[in-house]
Amino acid sequence: MSGKLDFKKSDRALYTGKRGRWDDIEVPKMVFLSIDGQGDPNGPDFARAVGALYPMAYGLKFAMKAREADFVVAPLEAAWWADDPAAFREGARQAWKWTAMMRVPDDITGEIFVETRETVQEKLAKKADGDPEAVGGIRLEPREEGRCLQTLHIGPYTEEAETLRALHDEVMPAMGVTFNGPHHEIYLSDARRVEPAKLRTLLRQPVRAI
């Protein structure tokens, strides 16, 4: 890897979508920083996970930049699932299970990951509001979703339910496909700086033929 890698440019099809249209795409194997949890995404556990991912992602960025292999920190993502998929259409957030994620370059080795995690934990331990324990729960893992349906949602996260209902009850049956992995979201907007009505989120569902 040379220069500054930007996934949104190198893999543009994976980070774009059109509102009201489900695109049929192929998602290759990618490597992520990942951390698991359960419950409402507005709750403290999800916030803690996100708060751990960012310093780790930037720690890896600086570590790779020192090796002349810089990259742009990728958008926050999350995989969501439940024992009953209806929990998403019905907004039963307490039943939601999740993996918060940030994509990183494929050539980050386990050694670089462990070294960086230890460095980040040491730095956070010196801060009054640091959370080194949460960073310790992050792992480096590959994911390969294969065939997926993807669309762009604009608006509050709480208004995704109708789009997902249409996907589950209309789009997927009409295409002859079924679920092949957790519901996946890519957050293209920073919720801290963008008003809810303008939030842009990619909704992705891995599928397979029935």
- Domain residue extents for the chain: 7-209
pLDDT attached to residue 119:
96
pLDDT tens digit sequence for 137-194: 999 999 999 999 999 999 999 898 899 999 999 999 999 999 999 999 999 998 888 9
**Does 109 score more than 70 pLDDT?**
yes
Contact 50, 76 (CB under 8 A): yes
Pairing type for strands 97-104 and 146-154 reads unpaired
**Does 82 score more than 60 pLDDT?**
yes
pLDDT tens digit sequence for 7-60: 999 999 999 999 999 999 999 999 999 999 999 888 899 999 999 999 999 999
CATH 3.40.190.10 correct for 7-209: no
**Does 1 score more than 60 pLDDT?**
no
Contact 37, 98 (CB under 8 A): yes
- Rounded Cα–Cα distance for residues 24 and 22 (Å): 7
